[in-house]
Amino acid sequence: MKYYTKQHHYYCGIDLHTKKMYVCIMNQSAEIVYHKNHIADPENLMSVIKPYIEDIVICVECIFTWYWIADFCEEHTIPFILGHAYYMKAISGAKTKNDKIDSQKIAALLRGGMIPMAYVYPQRMRATRDMFRRRIYFVRRRADLLSHIQNTNTQYHFDSIKKGIMSLTESYKSELLERFSDPVLKLMISTDINIIDSLTHQISKIEYQAMKSARHFDPLSLMLLKTIPGIGDVLALTILYEINDINRFSRVQNFASYCRVVKCQRESGGKQFGSKNTKIGNPILKWAFSEAAVHFSRYCPEFTQKLNKMQNKFGNGKTFSITAHKLARTVFYMLKKRKPFDVKTFCNEKTAKQVSLASN
């Protein structure tokens, strides 16, 4: 975890909400020079910080409404710090908590160099990244509906559904509906099919627009990721947009932790206390590398023999977790060194053992 330690004349802590913001400005001597509640908009923020704008830093806790303050600070060349909400225990764990106290604590932590920093994603790429995230949501909803059709078919003990359920062509839809003689069941399945069609259409539109917007984003990195068997345009761009700049990770361990592909060990006095805080990190990258591990095992024939050995030893779940971890490490070094995927290095027994130990 990184902390902001630069010195300024004034430190501005904002407890931000959708419509309101409580602003606390503190000087280097820890004296509060301003402490009031305001309507959350750029004009009010500018009127508050204008007397101190020559040397001030602004900090807000990471919630979903932080975009406009980051853009405001970028426009006026004001240092902006995004506090990592989970690590700011001085706020969430306090006995007494309200907006006034929280804003003061943010300013005090900022002044003391104790603000845990979250990554401020660049404005120019934010919309495309959010569009890729929205695509994942729609894909999951479509998968839920497909599972519901399969479960209903099994529930009424009909013949197994063919593997081509994802395509749902007109002839296949008719075949599915003919299985259900009950008009209520037929309506339910028909509704699922109609929503799946709509989601498929919207997903295609999102993918087209995302590819159009992402066309000029780091084409070399995109080409490098696509050298990994099983990773195509959409999955590669999802990974790249979530990472943005690989150089913000100094070590491969930091990157693997951010991708949630390693367990968090807790140890004290030589004793281990299991693993907690497994949801700290980027859930989209966790999903992306899990998907990549499944596709990689299908499309990389050189990995088949090693995959079978790992499945016999660890079982399917742990095997794919190890593969996802190793793919994340591989992507880190590929993007750092600007080199394509090398299957021989990936299948090396020594590196496989290291990844296995880290995943335990």
pLDDT single digits (tens) 46-91? 999 999 999 999 999 998 899 999 999 999 999 999 999 888 876 7
Do 189 and 224 lie in one domain? The reply is no
- What is the Cα–Cα distance from 238 to 285, expressed in whole angstroms? 8
HEC per residue, the chain: CCEECCCCCEEEEEEECCCEEEEEEEECCCCEEEEEEEECCHHHHHHHHHHHHHHEEEEEECCCCCHHHHHHHHHCCCCEEEECCCCCHHHHCCCCCCHHHHHHHHHHHHHCCCEEEECCCCHHHHHHHHHHHHHHHHHHHHHHHHHHHHHHHHHCCCCCCCHHHHCCCHHHHHHHHHCCCCHHHHHHHHHHHHHHHHHHHHHHHHHHHHHHHCCCCCHHHHHHHCCCCCCCHHHHHHHHHHHCCHHHCCCHHHHHHHCCCCCCEEEECCEEEEECCCCCCCHHHHHHHHHHHHHHHHHCHHHHHHHHHHHHHHCHHHHHHHHHHHHHHHHHHHHHHCCCCCHHHHCCHHHHHHHHHHHC
Do 185 and 247 lie in one domain? The reply is no
What tokens appear for 265 in the block? Answer: 């060990």
Do 246 and 281 lie in one domain? The reply is yes
Q: Give residue 22's domain range.
A: 3-120
Bridge partner residues of 317 (DSSP): none
Predicted pLDDT of residue 157: 86
- What is the Cα–Cα distance from 21 to 105, expressed in whole angstroms? 14
Do 242 and 198 lie in one domain? The reply is no
Residue numbers in the chain where pLDDT is lower than 70: 90, 92, 162-168, 268, 272-277, 349-360
Predicted pLDDT of residue 210: 83
CATH of the domain at 63: 3.30.420.10
Do 99 and 36 lie in one domain? The reply is yes
- What is the Cα–Cα distance from 338 to 326, expressed in whole angstroms? 17
Do 74 and 128 lie in one domain? The reply is no
Do 42 and 15 lie in one domain? The reply is yes
Q: Are 107 and 59 in contact (CB under 8 A)?
A: yes
- The burial class, CB within 10 Å (0-12 / 13-18 / 19+), for 200 is middle
Do 40 and 108 lie in one domain? The reply is yes
Predicted pLDDT of residue 324: 94
Do 168 and 288 lie in one domain? The reply is no
Q: Which residues, other chains included, contact 43 with Cβ-Cβ below 8 Å and sequence gap of 6+?
A: none
Among 89, 120, 151, residue at a domain's last position: 120
Predicted pLDDT of residue 66: 95
Count of domains observed in the chain: 3
Among 160, 190, 215, residue at a domain's last position: 215
What tokens appear for 39 in the block? Answer: 């309507």
Among 87, 120, 153, residue at a domain's last position: 120
Do 196 and 225 lie in one domain? The reply is no
Do 246 and 307 lie in one domain? The reply is yes
Total-model pTM: 0.85
Do 142 and 256 lie in one domain? The reply is no
Q: For residue 27, give Cα distances in angstroms to 7, 11, 108, 141.
A: 10, 6, 10, 50
